[in-house]
Amino acid sequence: MKKMRASLFSLLVALLLTSCAAMKPVAPEINLMGLVVDEVTLSHVNMVANLRLFNPNAVTLQVQSVEYELQLNGVKVSAGQSLRSLDIAPDDYGNLDLRLSSAYWDIFRFVNNLQQGEELDFRLTGKVRVGGLGIIGHTFNFDHEGKIPLVGKDGRPSPLFDSLIMPPRQN
């Protein structure tokens, strides 16, 4: 009888350990889909970065928070944390807008580093904290680099700078 209990206990422990290993989530894929200057104030430039996240897991992924740092042409222009959580269904996409605020000093450093060209180098780094039903909380690091076109295919300036050219929004 004791051997049978010991065997059942060992089997139960083995099942729990394998189920815990299966619950470890796979990192979501993160892509920067857009960066737009949203508002220009007397002291800051506010931008919105649109992130697209893909959940490769078999269960819904609850994104609890995103911490980030944005560099443009090698100059850190913004850092912060997302203000809302996001649930992403299995094998599905979710979008998360990050509000970025950058002081004019950072923009000035960035503009001085800007060379005449048709593209802007960016680097978005940070951490994504996930958790929720079926998944024990886990943090993933991300590091995404790329280029943002400054000139559209039609030769016109990128929409990135629209709010710098257009008059301020009326509230």
CATH number, residue 97: 2.60.40.10
Residue 90 has what pLDDT? 94
Residue 171 has what pLDDT? 43
Element (H, E) at 65: strand 61-72
- What is the residue range of 93's domain? 2-165
List C-alpha distances in Å: 96 to 33, 60, 99. 10, 16, 10
The reply to whether 171 falls in a domain is no
The reply to whether 25 falls in a domain is yes
- Amino acid type, 21: A
The reply to whether 119 falls in a domain is yes
Residue 7 has what pLDDT? 61
The reply to whether 145 falls in a domain is yes
The reply to whether 170 falls in a domain is no
- Residue 57 DSSP class: S
| The two structure tokens encoding residue 34 | 């857009």
Q: Which has the higher per-residue pLDDT, 161 or 111?
A: 111
Alpha carbon distance 121, 144 (integer Å): 11
30-39, 82-91, 102-111, 156-165: least confident range: 156-165
When divided into structural domains, the chain yields a total of: 1
| The two structure tokens encoding residue 30 | 């993160």
Contact 128, 63 (CB under 8 A): yes
Per-residue pLDDT, averaged over 47-76, amounts to 88
Residue 164: CA count within 13 A, CB half-sphere: 12
The residue with tokens 């892509």 is 31
The reply to whether 131 falls in a domain is yes
59-68, 69-78, 83-92, 145-154: least confident range: 145-154
List C-alpha distances in Å: 80 to 66, 110, 116. 8, 18, 29
The reply to whether 140 falls in a domain is yes
133 φ, ψ (degrees, to nearest 5): -60, 125
